[in-house]
Amino acid sequence: MRTFYGTDLPNPLMLGTAQYPSPAILEQAFRESGAGVATVSLRREGAGGAGQTFWQMISDLNVLILPNTAGCHTVKEAVTTAHMAREVFGTDWIKLELIGHTDSLQPDVFQLVEAARILTDDGFQVFPYTTDDLIVGERLLEAGCEVLMPWGAPIGSGRGLNNEYALRAMRAEFPDTPLVVDAGIGLPSHAAHAMELGYDAVLLNTAVARAGEPATMARAMKLAIEAGQLAHQADPIEARDMAEASTPVIGKAFLT
């Protein structure tokens, strides 16, 4: 597995912490998932009371924390939120979300690149939530990012990998860059597919948090990601348009 800003992940699953029915179910889901990273949105309310209890629970999970700038729509808002997150969580990691379209929650890639450059210059280690556009990916790397997180599909849609061609192209274009499929995963098969394409990790939230049995789905995602990772390492066969007999003709008995 590749390192993320010099850090080895214990598991290629990154799991969000929003929308769970209760803190207890969230904790159970994390235990079952084996996730190595928890993504956490910074609430603008003061830390204390229920918020303090939540942060303590996340800390007790003993996973890496990846704060995010969810809900930000401008460079200034995202940069300010990132600085607040670094102060609260004590990490230079930041998942940079900068939303440009209300319905699809598609990233505003122009502001994303600008914010990434500012935050990198400020010492942040930026995980940019981006589209699967190769040029945008190149610009983000030039801005100082060492990780790219292209979407599979719109956040929370559960549609899986909408554009496999683009994701394959991104993997081929950036062979030495850690790549994470972020958003749109709805089923374990989607997560497995991402890993089969050679991606280094998968970030998901809604598929587990909103499932009827979050802990069960979390375990399913863990197993699917492991299977997809192993399948990629095994160098799978190429798809064919025609059949290919598995039994050789040479040596076959002929009846007369």
Catalytic residues: 95
Characterise 96 by phi-psi region: left (phi > 0), alpha (psi -120 to 50), beta (else).
beta
